[in-house]
Structure 1
Amino acid sequence: PDPRFITFQKEGSVGIRLTGGNEVGIFVTAVQPGSPASLQGLQPGDKILKVNDMDMKCVTREEAVLFLLSLQDQIDLIVQHRKDEYEQIVASQRGDSFHIKAHFNYDQPNKGEMSFRKGDVFHVVDTLHNGVVGSWQVFRIGRNNQEVQKGIIPNKSRAEELATAQFNATKKEMSTSESRGSFFRRRRGSHRRSKSLGRDHWDDVVFSDSISKFPAYERVVLRHPGFVRPVVLFGPVSDIARERLLKDYTDKFTSPQLDNNLEDIPKSQKSSGIIRLSAIREIMDRGKHALLDITPNAVDRLNYAQFYPIVIFLRAESKHIIKELRAGLPKAAHKSSKKLFEQCQKLEKVWSHTFSCSVTLTSPDTWYRKVRELIEKQQSSPLWMSES
């Protein structure tokens, strides 16, 4: 049947119940008898194509409901009766379908909801759980990108509130710890150079230790990146690993921090760990991995800029193994095993959401081989990237 134009005055509630979602379209599933909509001939099985000039294509069920609720007075609908399609949707219970990555921790969930950590990915299948605004029904995505667990999480607006509160608390915590001197090295002079973070200024972004503001839920898709991803190593022997990779595989790895063209830059700037995104991009364009020595915070920033570094955490089970693996290094590279071990534990506790994978440190040869294998495996695997 042809699309129909239906217009009516809203009296209190709209008097329509909706089903469907961004994957299948928005359908009317019930109309209140005697309501203005019903009197104008709106009926179950009508697909809503437009509401007051807003196209309903790819709109989630929650967005459609909130939009209808927000309208005052007159409502103009363009609808088309699609009985078969509607019945299929009701039978299969299909509606919404998209993937999100969480950018905050949800540790104390409301009753009936599941907890999650920063970096967790979900397949959202209903944005209006139980027909009420407030919760989303999802599948958690596990290690092999399979759906592993069905559950309920806060909807986007609740998530934004929770994430903002967490963000502000973290910021406050960071400013207090800053005054006590920080746990991470490379703080020198990083604050003088902060610039505005407009999308166009990404090239001049200097990695100072501030936090980038992701949305609470970022829409993501699983795909191959199509570029050579930068590599970041964390852990008590990451300096050794970087040095070996740069020496053993000059054709595959290079470091913007050690590039030969830095000779004319004053020493003070070299050691401050400033890396321009353009330098990383240039290495990527040459088809090499940019091997970076940066803080975990900078990893968040790289992900925000959609460079998606491969982050490998080298985990030590004890300070003895660290001592063993660092034995025989030149005096200049000497570091306290105890300190390195403590840093290692703290790093894992706070920043594990940035890790792509981890390697437990054992005998000298096996861990290094494992690191190389993981870099290759990560480079050839698809990853959850921002939809935009």
Structure 2
Amino acid sequence: MNNFGKNPWQPLHQKRIYLGCQCSITTSSCMRDSGGILSRMLTNYHLRHRRPLSYRPVLQLTVPGPGCLKDQLNITGGNNLGIFVAAVQTDSAANGAGLRPQHQILALEADFGSGRDTVSLESCTKEEASWRLSRCCLPARVSVKHNPDGFMALGSTLRGGDSFYIRLNMELCPKLDGNGSLEASIGEILHVTDTLPQVVSWEISADGEDSEGCGFWAAEKIDDRQHEPIKNGIIPNYKSAQKLLMNKTAYSRSDFKHKRSWWRWWLSPRKVEKGIPKSWSTQQLPSIARDADSDDLCLKENEQPVPYMLVSPRQPTYQRPVVLVPELVSEALGGILSMNPGFRMLSPVEVGDHSSVMGKYKKESVCREESFVVARLLKTKVNKVHLVLHGGLRMAWFLRKADIHPIILFLHLTSKGRKPLRKRLLEFPFGDKVLVKRLQEEEILLWASFFQFVFVNPEETGSSTTKVVQLLIKKAQEEQERTVWVSPFTN
């Protein structure tokens, strides 16, 4: 076996694992290679430390018990740079097993309270890794890698070792809530940089739960255009935000602003996680709306509030189409909007021109008209034209299934906001009460769908339909320049 890369100072019971091979030092192999062995070992030792990081070995260290691994070391890092050992107690079992600072923890094999299991920490946040270590009962096998470059990069950054983006499904107001220091509203994007900042003391009680059930994250507000931080601060962590959201909705259901966040997280586990059914129609809306508007709402056993939604940025290479919500507004204003320069209503196409696209979506039993829309969008991605589409939420959901991210313009039509559009909305063959009910039902589904949309208030435009259309044009052009934030719930 090739002796390249073997460390002569490593204890014989430690096993080194390389990419593609396994090797260990034995006394018999050293005796067979006695001539000039010391010089070759020293040369190989220095060559190993000059290897690229991906070729450095992984150490399997066994930490004897009893005790908890969290009590014997401190960690740093996160899901962006990895979890590293920051300090180890001198007289601890972890120190005797060989754990040292600058070691990156890759995996743990131990008893976490429900039997022996193996857990990977390579993509864990700092908060999750600390939680795992606090429940890691010794003895344990720890997979580590000496990574001084990553540890130094972690120390040189001004941020923490975590990095992920969230969209808020609730309002954060530190002055009223008393939690955190960063003020944000529903729908804003935050960049979480540290899930366990040093200013927060996170302790575990004897029963295995965190003492207060609370914690904080370090986060930054993100500019949608420049994709740069605007303001940083502290926000409640996920568990704290869940409790805060439940307390808010318990006594604020009558307030429409808080009710929107209630609709969003309460409907999501039951309706949105499974996706909108393919046979979705407005006939299903009244029962959903009655459930969401009930005064005796309560959480089911398997339902949890969703204060934050994990999102990722996308940069579309095409001109994003425009979808108006509610659907009745799309039918009333879509034609007027498409008459303006830079906007065009998408017309149906022939079946024979896009047979390949039709075959792609044939298994999903989707509407033929929607397949035509996707086919035309795939051909017009490079055009600098805003394509206006009918269909409301049903069309937006289908476009997301085809990996197309539309601009959703939501018109919040109150009694005053309907005045500019009253003449056009009353052209439909039903009364004003039915119209208001259908608008509210579709609004509930929109807030529960986790789509990124633009909130448009027609009251700002006065009493002119032309001004409402001008406002829609302005919002669509502004949204076209922004980053698209995609949620896993809408994939």
Partner residue of 1:127? 195
Q: What do you get for the CA RMSD once the two structures are aligned? A: 5.1
Partner residue of 2:409? 312
Whether 1:33 and 2:78 are equivalent positions in the alignment is no
* Shift in alpha-carbon separation, 1:71–1:301, aligned structure 2, 3 A: farther
- 3-state DSSP class of the match of 2:178? coil
Q: Structure 1 counterpart of 2:80, which letter?
A: E
Whether 1:8 and 2:109 are equivalent positions in the alignment is no
Partner residue of 1:223? 314
Q: Which of 214, 226, 238 is matched with 1:156 structurally?
A: 238
Partner residue of 1:117? 185
Q: Residues 68-102 of structure 1, C-alpha deviation per residue, up to 9 Å, x if partnerless?
A: 11222322111122234313312324411111112
Look at both structures and tell me which one has the larger radius of gyration over its CA atoms: 2
Partner residue of 1:62? 127
| Higher normalized contact order (CA 8 Å, seq sep 6+, divided by chain length) | 1
* Shift in alpha-carbon separation, 1:3–1:279, aligned structure 2, 3 A: same
Partner residue of 2:274? 198
Q: Structure 1 vs Structure 2: percent identity of aligned residues?
A: 23
Deviation at 1:311? Answer: 3.2
Partner residue of 1:104? 170
Contact 2:68–2:137 (CA under 8 A) maintained in structure 1: no
Contact 1:255–1:291 (CA under 8 A) maintained in structure 2: no
Partner residue of 1:50? 107
Mapped to 2, the partners of 1:164 and 1:304 lie a distance apart of 30
Partner residue of 1:378? 479
Contact 2:409–2:472 (CA under 8 A) maintained in structure 1: yes
1:242-253 equivalence runs, <5 A: 242-245=334-337, 252-253=344-345
How many pairs were matched up? 344
Contact 2:170–2:245 (CA under 8 A) maintained in structure 1: yes
Partner residue of 2:78? 21
Mapped to 2, the partners of 1:299 and 1:70 lie a distance apart of 47
Partner residue of 1:262? none
Contact 2:331–2:390 (CA under 8 A) maintained in structure 1: no
Q: Structure 2 counterpart of 1:383, which letter?
A: V
Structure 1 residue runs of 5 or longer lacking an equivalent are 178-193, 260-275
* Shift in alpha-carbon separation, 1:51–1:132, aligned structure 2, 3 A: farther
Q: Residues 248-297 of structure 1, C-alpha deviation per residue, up to 9 Å, x if partnerless?
A: 79x943599xx9xxxxxxxxxxxxxxxx8886565334325433456xxx
- 3-state DSSP class of the match of 2:98? coil
Mapped to 1, the partners of 2:217 and 2:108 lie a distance apart of 23
Contact 1:124–1:139 (CA under 8 A) maintained in structure 2: yes
- 3-state DSSP class of the match of 2:132? helix
Partner residue of 2:136? 71
* Shift in alpha-carbon separation, 1:328–1:43, aligned structure 2, 3 A: closer
Mapped to 2, the partners of 1:300 and 1:167 lie a distance apart of 28
Deviation at 1:118? Answer: 2.4
Contact 1:23–1:97 (CA under 8 A) maintained in structure 2: yes
Mapped to 2, the partners of 1:72 and 1:309 lie a distance apart of 49
Mapped to 2, the partners of 1:238 and 1:167 lie a distance apart of 31
Q: Structure 1 counterpart of 2:105, which letter?
A: I
Q: Structure 2 counterpart of 1:4, which letter?
A: L
Question: What TM-score do the two structures reach when normalised by structure 1?
Answer: 0.67
